[in-house]
Amino acid sequence: MNLDVALKKRLEKVLEKKVKERAEEIYAECVDLGDMAIAQFYAAYSPIHYKRMHSFDYVCSPFKHKLSSIKYEVGIRVLEGVAVGHKDKLGDEYVFHGVMELGIHGTSSVAVSTPPMEVIRDYFAKFD
């Protein structure tokens, strides 16, 4: 094997390792980000007149897929069907949109804070 081929193979292995490490780091950041975005939303308003359901605790589902030896897809999937059981007459979809996209606490708009989706979008914007 000549030196050029050996160096090329070694560089490919180093690149694969670095890409995998970075994908793992971003995945870990996504796990933390999903948890933080929801926790930040809940912490922004402490309800007095209703019992919090915490149904949004598990809507952020981080994922990581290996597409090739040097390419990964990493992100957060927002699971709309997870946050169910709300009492609002307009339904769970309305509540989901109000919380995740608009940052509304309680369907009567008693408080508004940073929407979890805004926090998530801001994180991923740095990769554009």
Instruction: Please write the tens of the pLDDT for every residue from 23-67.
Output: 999 999 999 999 999 999 988 887 666 667 788 888 999 999 999
Q: What is the pLDDT of residue 78?
A: 92
- Supply the pLDDT for residue 111: 81
Number of structural domains the chain divides into: 1
pTM, whole model, 2 decimals?
A: 0.80
Residue 92 CB-half CA count within 13 A = 12
Separation between Cα atoms, residue 71 and residue 31, nearest integer Å: 20
- Which tokens in the block code for residue 52? 């919090």
- Domain with 11 in it: 3-125
pLDDT of residue 3: 87
pLDDT at 97: 87
Percent of the chain with pLDDT over 70: 93
Q: Which residues contact 113 (CB under 8 A, 6 or more apart)?
A: 40, 41, 44, 45, 103, 105
